[in-house]
Structure 1
Amino acid sequence: MKPPSWPGGVVTLELGRRPEILIAERERAMAGSTTVSYTENLRKYLDLPQNGSIQAEYIWIDGNNGVRCKTRTLTKKPDNVEELPEWNFDGSSTGQAPGEDSDIYLRPVAVYPDPFRRGDNILVLCECWNSDGVPNKFNYRHDCAKLMEAHKDQVPWFGLEQEYTLFDELDQPFGWPRGGFPGPQGPYYCGVGTGKVYCRDIVEAHYRACLYAGIKISGINAEVLPSQWEYQVGPCEGIEMGDQLWMSRFLLHRVAEEFGVKISFHPKPIKGDWNGSGLHTNVSTAAMRAPGGMKYIEDAIEKLAKRHKEHIAVYGDDNTMRLTGKHETGNIEQFSYGVADRGSSIRIPRSVAKEGYGYFEDRRPASNACPYQITGIMIETICGSLEQ
């Protein structure tokens, strides 16, 4: 029997004591030190006047494919992103720089209204740059933006379907029975009712936070694995796709923080006969969206087939655990496509096949993949590299 996992490490089972009793005792001990934020106590302070100052939350992607943030005070509301000052942080603490040369610079690239502080306060998405004036090695946005600019005449649109799973403080899917499993997959997808869906309050809060911030969130649904959900962002044009998806992830973590719930983007959060989590990527160009566009969709798929391994290399960590050819996935070693086939690498929606134009869906990216890497290599493959 594998010992249960705890936030502080692995529990040592005491001789002669049943594991379920120890778990119950740990739960009672943790009840007095919950990580849930006391938002109601905070609210009265958020109503205090700011005397003309603005709080700007600077947000960036770290060296472990996660989000970080810190706040600074501005003396006036900026009219555009160019007016925002550059800032810096300790890159040795985020996996982005060595300790002897740790300063990493934050260059603002996009601004959004802050749904937590509200008023004139803002969220600021930033790129990371080294002190020598070159992009940090984890700054995937920089090259992606250049590709999008080079091919902007093709008007690339994207829509990303972000799947994720909610875990409790004991690192178990929220709502699952202690030490056991819920019933098999079936009633949970787009489910309604107790025992079928979990954490709808968090999902709804995140939805509203995205709308307030101007994120182009286009929908939500409960997924196949209980306590797994999906939201969709898009359609977005060019570099805006990566910006909006990363900001939506920040908002999801930030909302869940107030409920004491953890967000997992792991592509196989639960081993066994359970669906994994993906970041299905819907793609089109202006030519694909026009009558007769199927020809351009087929041309794109032919190009994608030739670079399958290169795409898989940047489509997320631990994706081998998910792309097994089962649970509505294709096999990671083989490229495939089909109409309405959710077991293929590329799916052409049936409506697109019928009308003869529209878009296609790349089902290979894992839920933890970087949207800048996904959209960047997609445009490089179907539209051409910067050197061409």
Structure 2
Amino acid sequence: MSLLHDLTNLDLSDSTEKVIAEYIWIGGSGIDMRSKARTLSGPVSDPSKLPKWNYDGSSTGQAPGKDSEVILYPQAIFRDPFRKGNNILVMCDTYTPAGEPIPTNKRSNAAKIFSHPDVIAEELWYGIEQEYTLLQKDVKWPVGWPIGGYPGPQGPYYCGIGADKAWGRDIVDAHYKACLYAGINISGINGEVMPGQWEFQVGPSVGISAADEIWIARYILERITEIAGVVLSFDPKPIQGDWNGAGAHTNYRKGKDILKTGGQHQTWTLTLLLQ
């Protein structure tokens, strides 16, 4: 295991200029994330300089078996906290070989809207509060909960500390630091109302970058829970009954209002165009 750890953490810059790019996209359900890696000849910082790539869309619920090729278009680059060095994470959206956005590609239309001069002039800022639940792998029951049973009533868990109030903090802190390393504008974390439930906040970020950042933050979190042997759930109601639900609340503000008048803070429960 020590050798495996050493190999996983090899610093490639000592021996080669080549880097690894992990191409990431949203799967056919609109919730699941997929990724695959490729080798580049050297460091890249501009997504337009990255090659397009393809995958089998029939295996992700995004294309029929008789015409399964889907093309990945790189859209945003982040530093890779897992491989480190010059290696990168690449947020992509998805197209047919003819260059048409596939039906599950919501980013393409969102990019058109956010790049419109009138929208750019509004300087739209977003702050997204993403709640999630950590589940025990084999029983799909929240971490810290007795299997088949329940913890004490809600009350002491929100922003709580202590072995009887907070479970999964190592995962949460690892995610926090990994997002900062990646270049995501993560602004905070906290324990949520239901034990085993947490929240992180991304933003303020401008326009479509907020959506790219929240998706990559979700990807990083799921990779960390994979390592930890814990299941990540974004289910809005993971436990039925009088237990707190989970959502992704979106705070919206016009940058002009902030700069000129301080603006009236508006909070909308917004469905992002990037789903």
TM-score interval, normalised by the smaller of the two chains = over 0.9
Contact kept, 8 Å, 2:11 with 2:85, in 1: the verdict is no
Q: Distance in 2 between matches of 1:79 and 1:224?
A: 40
- Max Rg structure: 1
Partners of 1:288 and 1:359 within 8 A in 2: no
Report the equivalent of 1:109: 75
Q: Does the aligned pair in 2 maintain the 1:158–1:238 contact within 8 Å?
A: yes
Instruction: Give 1:51's aligned amino acid.
Output: T
1:359 alignment partner in structure 2: 265
- Greater fraction of residues in helix: 1
Q: Which amino acid aligns with 1:144?
A: A
Shift of 1:372: 3.2
8 A contact 1:57–1:122 mirrored in 2:
yes
Counterpart selection for 1:149 from 91, 115, 121? 115
Q: How many angstroms does 1:76 deviate by?
A: 1.4
Partner of 2:17: 52
Runs of 4 or more consecutive aligned structure 1 residues displaced over 4 Å after TM superposition: 290-293
Task: Provide Cα deviations, 1:262-321, integer angstroms capped at 9, x if missing partner.
Answer: 10000001000011001111001134325657xxxxxxxxxxxxxxxxxxxxxxxxxxxx
Q: Residues of 1 paired with 2:181 and 2:113: CA distance?
A: 29
State yes or no: 1:194 paired with 2:159.
Answer: no
Kept after mapping to 2: 8 A contact 1:63/1:138 = yes
Q: What is aligned with 1:283?
A: 252
Counterpart code for 1:359: H
For residues 229-283 of structure 1, the C-alpha deviation after alignment (integer angstroms, 9 at most, x for no partner) is 0000000001101000000000000111110001000000100001100111100
Q: Where in structure 2 are the equivalents of 1:48-87 lying within 5 Å?
A: 49=12, 50-64=15-29, 65-87=31-53
TM-score (norm 2): 0.93
Deviation at 1:101, TM superposition (A): 0.5
The question of whether the paired residues in 2 share the 8 Å contact of 1:289 and 1:359 is answered with: no
Residue among 140, 152, 156 paired with 2:106: 140
| CA distance, structure 2, for counterparts of residue 51 and residue 156 of structure 1 | 41
Residue 45 of structure 2 contacts residue 77 of structure 2 at CA under 8 Å; is this kept in 1? no
Asked if structure 2 preserves the Cα contact closer than 8 Å seen for 1:222 and 1:228, the reply is: yes
2:134: which partner in 1? 166
Judging by fraction of residues, say which structure has more strand: 2
Structure 1: where are the runs of 5+ without partners?
1-37, 294-356, 375-388
Contact 1:290 1:358 in 2 (8 A): no
Give the length in aligned residue pairs: 268
Q: Normalising by structure 1, report the TM-score.
A: 0.67
CA-based RMSD? 1.6
TM superposition shift of 1:43: 2.8
Higher RCO, 1 vs 2 (CA within 8 Å, ≥6 residues apart): 2
Change (3 A) 1:272 1:119: same
Letter of the 1:47 partner, please give it. Answer: L
Letter in 1 for 2:131: E
The aligned amino acid for 2:265 is Y
Q: Which residue of 1 aligns with 2:150?
A: 181
Matched with 1:372 is: 273
Report 1:223-262 matches (<5 A).
223-262=192-231
What SS is found at the alignment partner of 2:244? coil
